[in-house]
């Protein structure tokens, strides 16, 4: 009994101490100061274990066909070099100010398995600058980047320059038709920054309240004041709001049709 | 016509007071003009409509009808002539006069 009260007392003291620390503003959130080493290595190990666990059952396709690597080079040049750099190419200046610093991917190509790389590219990593590419890149393209990153440690700067010159047309295969999926839609809503302007139950964001709350949106009659609220219309609306409400502040976020239909399916469940 | 689009929120004075509406009268008017058949409005009898968005916190939203910066002046103008600002909106002009619109705005600004 006395032990129990002692434990509760200690927990209470810790909670108060944590609250005081948070409120005091003593923690230095600036990106100019690196994490303390224990903090950094704890977070890094947490990340590595988290990714390894989640990537363990990914089926890895055949990697390394010349066309695939070529495709990977182009995507890498367009989307990765800016922060990670490349053989002989520094990251853009802004990326040098990131904390934590993005890893040079020649190292990742040696140390990380294809499944690990695929998972990180696809899902992104919280509280780093690493975005989730799942909604901007097809699976085939993500694997192409993986294939190239695995090759990267063996590419000399001159070789990289030569490869980078090869431009290949981007193909959009993420628009493939499939049934709308509310679960995917919930995740997609977070990925297209909807929470930046709308309150959405169960999601956290900047709470900027530019537009109306989406609480109960599923039982509302009109959409944006202009369309009957059906999932089909909701998807159309998300794809191109100004087509229906000229002058609206809501922008088209470059949502794919499939993602828009998933989002609509999820929003319809918010009663 | 363009004026409401250009009005920012630079005024330091309380803009609602500046407009001079009466919130209590506004609350009654929101009921009388049946705003509640389309909008959920806290404190207004039977205002549980789900055609348009709920009006709780409407004054704290950045945009009004998605098209105007939210200011008391803009809100009054929008209430009176929604189509002027949102040409395809389902919200009808209910024949609200200027004074009534000011009162409604005064009440809507009291909603958290």
pLDDT tens digit sequence for A182-214: 999 999 998 888 888 899 998 888 878 888 999
Tell me the nearest-neighbour CA distance from A208 into chain B, angstroms: 8
ipTM of the prediction = 0.77
Q: Cβ contacts of residue A35 below 8 Å, gap of 6+?
A: A43, A99, A100
In the DSSP assignment, the letter for residue A232 is H
C-beta atoms of B89 and A208 within 8 A: no
Confidence class for position A142, pLDDT limits 50, 70, 90: very high
Window from A42-56, A130-144, A145-159 with minimum mean pLDDT: A145-159
Tell me the nearest-neighbour CA distance from A205 into chain B, angstroms: 15
* Residue range A3-8: mean pLDDT, rounded: 94
Residue B5: per-residue pLDDT:
52
Rg (CA), chain A: 23
Rg (CA), chain B: 13
Return the number of CB contacts < 8 Å for A and B: 69
Q: What's the whole-model pTM score?
A: 0.72
C-beta atoms of B50 and A219 within 8 A: yes
B62 interaction partners in chain A (CB closer than 8 Å): 197, 208-211, 249
B66 interaction partners in chain A (CB closer than 8 Å): 211, 224-225, 241, 245, 247-250
Confidence class for position A167, pLDDT limits 50, 70, 90: very low
Whether the Cβ atoms of residue A181 and residue A265 lie closer than 8 Å to each other: yes
B4 touches chain A (CB under 8 A): no
Write the burial class of residue A125 (CB in 10 Å: 0-12 exposed, 13-18 middle, 19+ buried): middle
pLDDT tens digit sequence for A106-129: 889 988 999 999 999 999 999 999
Write the burial class of residue A200 (CB in 10 Å: 0-12 exposed, 13-18 middle, 19+ buried): buried
Q: Token pair of A195, please?
A: 């929470």
Confidence class for position A177, pLDDT limits 50, 70, 90: low
Asked if pLDDT for residue A237 goes beyond 80, the answer is: yes
CA distance linking residue B80 with residue B70, whole number of Å:
15
Whether the Cβ atoms of residue A142 and residue A132 lie closer than 8 Å to each other: no
Q: Please give chain B's pLDDT, 112 residues, in tens.
A: 445 555 544 444 577 777 889 999 999 999 999 999 999 999 998 899 999 999 999 999 998 998 999 999 999 999 999 999 999 999 999 999 999 999 999 999 999 8
Q: Cβ contacts of residue B55 below 8 Å, gap of 6+?
A: B35, B39, B40, B41, B42, B108, B111
pLDDT tens digit sequence for A13-70: 999 999 999 999 999 999 888 888 899 899 999 999 999 999 999 999 999 999 999 9
Q: Token pair of A122, please?
A: 């696809």
Window from A147-161, A170-184, A221-235 with minimum mean pLDDT: A170-184
CA distance linking residue A229 with residue A191, whole number of Å:
23
Residue B9: per-residue pLDDT:
46
Distance of CA A201 to the CA centre of its chain: 20
Residue A77: per-residue pLDDT:
92
Confidence class for position A166, pLDDT limits 50, 70, 90: low
In the DSSP assignment, the letter for residue A205 is -
C-beta atoms of B67 and A219 within 8 A: no
DSSP B44-109: STT-B--SS---TTGGGSSEETTTEE--HHHHHHHHH-HHHHSTT-SPPP----HHHHHHHHHHHT
Closest CA to A255 of A235, A232, A239: A239
In the DSSP assignment, the letter for residue A92 is P
Task: Specify the higher pLDDT residue, A165 or A91.
Answer: A91
Q: Cβ contacts of residue A198 below 8 Å, gap of 6+?
A: A210, A211, A212, A213, A214
Whether the Cβ atoms of residue A252 and residue A242 lie closer than 8 Å to each other: yes
C-beta atoms of A225 and B90 within 8 A: yes
Whether the Cβ atoms of residue A200 and residue A189 lie closer than 8 Å to each other: yes
Asked if pLDDT for residue A256 goes beyond 60, the answer is: yes
């Amino acid at each position: 009994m006395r032990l129990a009260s002692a434990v509760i007392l200690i927990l209470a003291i810790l909670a108060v101490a944590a609250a005081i620390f948070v409120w005091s503003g003593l923690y230095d959130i600036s990106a100019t100061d690196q994490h303390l080493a224990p903090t950094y290595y704890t977070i890094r190990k947490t990340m590595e274990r988290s990714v390894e666990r989640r990537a363990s059952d990914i089926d890895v396709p055949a990697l390394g066909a010349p066309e695939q690597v070529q495709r990977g080079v182009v995507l890498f040049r367009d989307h990765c070099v800016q922060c990670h750099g490349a053989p002989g190419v520094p990251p853009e200046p802004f990326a040098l100010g990131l904390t934590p610093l993005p890893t040079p991917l020649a190292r990742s190509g040696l140390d990380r398995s294809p499944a690990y790389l695929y998972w990180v590219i696809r899902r992104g990593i919280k509280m780093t600058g690493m975005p989730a590419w799942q909604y901007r890149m097809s699976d085939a393209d993500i694997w192409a980047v993986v294939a190239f990153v695995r090759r990267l440690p063996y590419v000399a700067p001159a070789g990289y320059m030569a490869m980078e010159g090869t431009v290949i047309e981007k193909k959009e295969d993420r628009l493939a038709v499939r049934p709308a999926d509310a679960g995917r839609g919930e995740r997609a809503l977070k990925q297209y920054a909807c929470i930046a302007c709308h309150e959405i139950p169960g999601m956290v964001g900047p709470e900027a309240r530019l537009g109306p709350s989406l609480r109960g949106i599923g039982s509302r009659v009109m959409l944006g004041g202009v369309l009957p609220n059906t999932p089909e219309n909701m998807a159309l609306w998300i794809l191109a709001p100004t087509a229906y409400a000229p002058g609206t502040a809501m922008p088209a976020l470059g949502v794919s049709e499939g993602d828009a239909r998933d989002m609509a399916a999820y929003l319809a469940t918010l009663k | 016509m363009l004026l409401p689009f250009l009005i920012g929120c630079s005024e330091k004075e309380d803009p609602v007071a500046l407009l001079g509406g009466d919130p209590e009268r506004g609350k009654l008017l929101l009921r009388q003009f049946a705003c509640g058949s389309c909008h959920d409005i806290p404190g207004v009898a039977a205002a549980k409509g789900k055609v348009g968005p709920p009006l709780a916190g409407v004054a704290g939203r950045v945009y009004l009808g998605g098209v105007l910066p939210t200011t008391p002046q803009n809100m009054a103008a929008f209430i009176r002539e929604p189509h002027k600002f949102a040409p395809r909106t389902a919200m009808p002009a209910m024949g609200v006069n200027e004074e009534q619109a000011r009162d409604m705005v005064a009440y809507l600004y009291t909603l958290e």
